[in-house]
Structures are given as structure tokens and as C-alpha cells.
Chain A
Amino acid sequence: MLWIALYFPHLADPPATSATAAIDLNNLAAWAGRFTPNVSLEKPCGLLLEVAGSLQLYGGLPALVRSVRADLRDMGYRVQLAGAPTARAAWWLALADHPRFVTELPSLTAALRPLPLRTLESGDKTFALLSRSGIRTLGEVWQLPRDGLARRCGQDLLDRLDRALGHLPEPRPYFQPPLQFHARQELAAEVCHTEPLLFVAQRLLLQLEGYLDARSAGIASFEFVLLHRNNRRTTIPIGLVAPNRDATHLLNLLRERLVRVALPETVHEVMLAADDIRPLSADNISLFDDEISTSKEWPKLVEQLRARLGTDSVRGLAIAAEHRPEYASIVSEIGTATTVAAGFGLRPFWLLPAPQALAERHGVPQLNGPLKLLIGPERIQSGWWDGPYEGRDYFVAQTSTQALLWVYRIPARAWYLHGWFA
């Protein structure tokens, strides 16, 4: 067993906001799940991670601790980290002024001995009793006779000391991550600019990333909610093309949206809600710069473009099973596979948004001079059930400058230009 203890001093200080502190601690526990499934809460201000099974994956304790620290730094948390073979000892070491890592059980006693008496968290009465007797450190407590200590301070104190040294087991309940991720964060002051909101968003998104990493999942959409006074709120929904959990990418998307939101009033709290959680396996590392990177980059690009330009400005193209030319090509969701229902005749690369009427002279359509009809006609007609739609005879025509056009004639009526072969 090897335990890492995370002590968050800011959660220990304000007992007034204990409700938000509890939410904060729960979210941190959800985040910590990315390092080990064995996360235990040390309420109200700490987490205990049993990491013996994760050392191989991270390549040793120092590398693992570096990852933990890097995440916490990005989230903007001040934290004291310590490690020990027992949970109790790790926690006591984290509370100390100079937290340290002790990996061997035999050296644990020496490491705990100089810790101050308040580390014991033994209650005011016991603390007063011991300090009145001139006892300052844990080492001095251990030197007292056990039976006398048990009689005066209770068996509980002895048990804790034994648990710290591993003489007694300490069974701990492990944190169960919630099925959905809801995080909220009160702001230190009311803000009316987006920059401080992004800082808070980064913290919440990193917690989300850790939570999703632990579950091998990604999100397909999330909501960032800004809470104003009088229960008013601004909701920013963000949809993704493919499930993702990369906090940097999600923050980029949110930034593009946030800078375009006009804040109606100041914000005092923000919420992050991710309900649509989908399975997402970790990526294989590719030896070559090949399709795997393409398939990964593609949804990111589309999401980034959409975050700034809007969903409707970034579209795909598909063929509809429709023989009327203007309905055969449709804008579609990006990357959707299309089955080509039927063969078409010759079709141009460009279609005009609306057919353009052409002049006619001696029965020949004109566009900067007479047009030469090369191929055709191709009759395209429609049934009565489609509404009014006149039959058309389509031709491939050539201008005097050799450009190829797609034109049609409504029989015995007018000529229209419908496309460019380009």
C-alpha cells in the first residue's frame, strides 16, 4: 500500500461555506480518479489516494506526483502533498509544515516523531491534557506508557497512533464517482468580464477531464452556466462533433463562445454541467503521421470553426435521393456517409442559387454571345405530387469563351442558366 495525501488549506479555513467546500472536495475526488480508482475523502479538506497499483503506469512515484502537481497547478489550487505506506501517516505528513514522502514502513516512525501534537486531531480536551503535560510532538506521545494513555485519553487515540504505524488496519470507504458531472464555483468577487470566468472554467474543465479520464469517457456536449443576481442565468451550451475530454480544447471552444456573449449583468457563480457522457477510449500512439491523427484532428477543427462562426456556417454536403437538380445536393451534417441512390446525367460543379434567365435570339440562348449546345437534351420532369414543377430540357452549352454551362429550357418557353461546369 502506498498512500498520497492531498491537503487543501483553503478548504480547511472557511467553515461558513461548508456546502460549497463539500462540492469542491467531491469534484476534486472525481478528478483524482484519473490517477487511481482508490480515492478516499478526508473531510473536509483532504483526499487520500492509494496509488500502489498506478506506479507502474506512471513510471514511479516521482512521475506520478509530478502529474498530480501539474494538474493542481493548472487548476489553481494550493495544496500540500505527502506520501506514506499508511493512510493516516500520509495525512499527518501532509498536514505538517514540510510535507514529505516516506515509502518504507520502518522509516515511518522516525518521520512522524517530530510532527507537532496538533497533527493528532484528537479533540480539544485531549490536546489540552497532553500539552499541559509538556508534550509537544508525536514522538513524545509514543514514549508515554500505553495503558496510562489509554486510561486518560481513550483507546481511540491509541488506535489512531497504531493505524499510522501500520500496527492496526484502517479500512476506508472509497469515493464513488457520480454518474453525471455537475460542478459549480462561487467567484471571489462579482465579475463583468470574461477573462476571470475563463480562469474558473479552466479549473472546472480540468476537473471534468480527470473525471472523464477515470471513466474512459468523453462528453458529447456540455453547458456552462453563468449565475447572476436574482436567480437569473446565462446558459452557454456547447455541442461537440465527436466525444472529447481534452480540457484545453474544450476551453478553446468555450473561449470563442464566451467572448461573443454580452453579459447582461455581473456574474457571482458559474456552473458546469456535463450530462451527455459517452464512452471514449484512450488514443493509441501512432508511429507515423497518418490517418489516426487525421481522424482525431478533424472533429477538433470543425468544433473550433463552429464555436466562432456558428453551426450553420460550417456544413458538409450530401446527395439526396431526388432527381430534381436543385434538391439533389443538400447541406448536411459534416462527415455523414452518403449513399448515391441513383445515377445522374452530366452535372456541373457549381450550381447557381437560383436559375438565371437567358435571352434568346433565333431560338438560340445567349450569354455574352450565342451559346453552342453540346450535349442534351436531358428531360427532367416531376410528378404532380411535388407541387408545380415544369418539365425542363437540360443541355451542356458552351460560351464563345469556351466555358461550359448547364442550361435548361422550359419547352416552348424560356432558357435558364443553372450551373457552371468550372
Chain B
Amino acid sequence: MSHRAQAFAELLARPDIRRATDLAHVTKPSVGTGFTALDIELPGGGWPSAALTEILPAHEGIGELRLLGPALAGLSRKGRRLAWIAPPYLPYAPALAAAGIDLSTLLIVRAQSFADTLWATEQCLASAACGAVLLWPQRLQYAELRRLQLAAEGTSALAILFRPPHAASDASPAALRIALSTTSDGLAVKILKRRGAALDRPIVVQIGPPQANVPTTHRPPAGTVTPA
């Protein structure tokens, strides 16, 4: 290697230089998605914490919750709380338990007005208790998105918005935006926006039907401290 090439390689190895083809360095720890193919394409190797994530499924019910399931289960096992704000249907306890989510960590919020929904989301993001805040908004203005992004930046929680597919064309301050569609092989995850280089091809993730529930033994609720 010539002297010049070596100097150039050293220069590129500096931590404050980022090449356009690289993923961004993230300072806040990410939460692994549980899907290796997806993890390697996400900055930090998982769902970003302290930032807004948008999930845009092509149709409702194609697997958006199964995609999040491993991350949510991991958080709830650590005693972090999961806030579900304005979910469109009834979250079904047996399926959530079968996915490994500790039901005692769940918080379901249904506010009367949209303003209260956004307020509740900000409160959940501001609390250190929540590991993930999931929001199904009716409609969102850019200013509201920006406000949620700012609220998310102050936390260590995942902040996840579920939005309709046509929202993909709107501008958004979210750090990660992914569109979901189905193929015969599995769920196609298209990364619309991430911190770092763009990715054109979708990632296909195998997320078969959820597992049948097996009886589990009683565990004390998370957060209780048992004396040694």
C-alpha cells in the first residue's frame, strides 16, 4: 500500500468521518428487532430508542405487531412498561401472553379527544417507566409529528407510530420510517428513511403465524423487588 493510500485509509477510520454508504452511528442503545436480516440494516442494530419510528403497513393486520413482538417481549421481560395508545381494535391478551409479553406491563389508553391522545403520548414518553409507546393516530400534522419527535428524544423508550400507507409521501421528522407489504415469502420491509445511507431493496422477514400459547407458571409482576 502506498503511503498516500495508507494515509487515506487512516483518515477514513476516524470516528467523526462518515461515508455516505455507511449507517449512522447511534449514541442511544437500540432495541434488537429479533430479526437478523432487519437488524443489520438498522443503525444501531435495532429499533431506535429516543427517536420516532413510523410503521406504515399496506393493509391493517398484515404483520405489523408480529414484527414488533420480539422487541416488545424483550422490553416487558426487563420490567419496562408498554403503553398502547388509541389502538384500533382490542389487543388480545392470550395472543400477547403467547408472544412472551408480560401482561402486567401493559397500559392501554383510550382518550376521548385527539388532543388528549397526543397529551397522553407525551406523558408516556416523558415517564422513565415506559419501554415502548405505541400510538395509532387518526391523522397527524407535521407540527404534531415534530412535537412527538421532540418528546421522544428525551426518553429511552421506543416511540412507534402506526400510520396508513399513503402517509409515506408526507414529510416526517421520524428517524426511521418503514413500509410493510406482503409477499409469498413473508413480510417485505421497505426502509423509507433511516439515519444513514438509503436502502432501495426491501428486506423480507419470515414472521409465520403467532405461536400457540403454552401454560406458563405464575411470575411476580415486574418491578417488585424480592429481598435476597
The answer to whether A and B belong to the same complex is: yes
Chain A interface (Cβ < 8 Å from any Cβ of B): 289, 291-295, 297-298, 300-302, 304-305, 308-309, 313-319, 328-331, 334-353, 374-375, 396, 399, 401-405, 419-422
From the candidates A315, A345, A405, name the one contacting B61 in the complex (CB within 8 A): A405
Shortest Cβ distance from residue B33 to the other chain A in the assembled complex, whole angstroms: 16
Note all chain A residues with C-beta closer than 8 A to B215. 340-343
Q: When A309-B112, A317-B93, A337-B219 are in contact, do A295 and B128 touch as well, CB less than 8 Å? A: no
Residue of A nearest to B124 (CB): A301
Q: When A308-B119, A337-B218 are in contact, do A353 and B107 touch as well, CB less than 8 Å? A: no
Give complex CA distance A289, B129 in Å.
11
**Interface size range on B against A:** 35 or more
Q: When A313-B109, A344-B94 are in contact, do A420 and B60 touch as well, CB less than 8 Å? A: yes
Among A336, A339, A402, find the residue whose CB has the most chain B CB atoms closer than 10 A.
A402
Q: Is the CB of A349 within 8 A of B91?
A: yes
Note all chain B residues with C-beta closer than 8 A to A344. 94, 98, 212-213
Name the interface residues of B57-111: CB closer than 8 Å to any CB of A: 58-66, 78-81, 87-99, 103-111
Q: Does B220 contact A (CB under 8 A)?
A: yes
Report the number of A-B residue pairs with Cβ-Cβ less than 8 Å: 199
Q: Does B225 contact A (CB under 8 A)?
A: yes
Q: Is the interface of A mostly helix, strand, loop or mixed?
A: mixed
Shortest Cβ distance from residue B217 to the other chain A in the assembled complex, whole angstroms: 8
Note all chain B residues with C-beta closer than 8 A to A399. 59
Name the interface residues of B9-62: CB closer than 8 Å to any CB of A: 58-62
Residue of B nearest to A320 (CB): B93
New contact pairs (4) apart from A301-B129, A404-B209, A421-B63, CB-CB < 8 Å: A294-B79, A346-B209, A347-B212, A402-B62
From the candidates A294, A340, A404, name the one contacting B81 in the complex (CB within 8 A): A294
Shortest Cβ distance from residue B106 to the other chain A in the assembled complex, whole angstroms: 5
Q: Is the CB of B92 within 8 A of A294?
A: no
Give complex CA distance A318, B97 in Å.
9
Q: Is the CB of B111 within 8 A of A309?
A: yes
Q: Is the CB of A401 within 8 A of B58?
A: yes
Q: Is the CB of A347 within 8 A of B92?
A: yes
Selected A-B contacts with CB under 8 Å, 8 pairs: A301-B124, A305-B109, A317-B93, A335-B223, A404-B63, A420-B60, A422-B62, A422-B65
> What string of 1s and 0s marks CB contacts (under 8 Å) between B115-136 and chain A?
0100110011001111000000
Note all chain A residues with C-beta closer than 8 A to B112. 309, 313
Q: Is the CB of A298 within 8 A of B223?
A: yes
Note all chain B residues with C-beta closer than 8 A to A339. 218
Q: Does B154 contact A (CB under 8 A)?
A: no
Note all chain B residues with C-beta closer than 8 A to A330. 93
Q: Is the CB of A402 within 8 A of B183?
A: yes
Among A292, A301, A401, find the residue whose CB has the most chain B CB atoms closer than 10 A.
A301
Residue of A nearest to B105 (CB): A335
Q: When A293-B128, A335-B221, A348-B95 are in contact, do A318 and B103 touch as well, CB less than 8 Å? A: yes
Note all chain B residues with C-beta closer than 8 A to A337. 104, 218-221
Q: Does B224 contact A (CB under 8 A)?
A: yes
Q: Is the CB of B90 within 8 A of A316?
A: no
Shortest Cβ distance from residue A381 to the other chain B in the assembled complex, whole angstroms: 18
Q: Is the CB of A316 within 8 A of B103?
A: yes
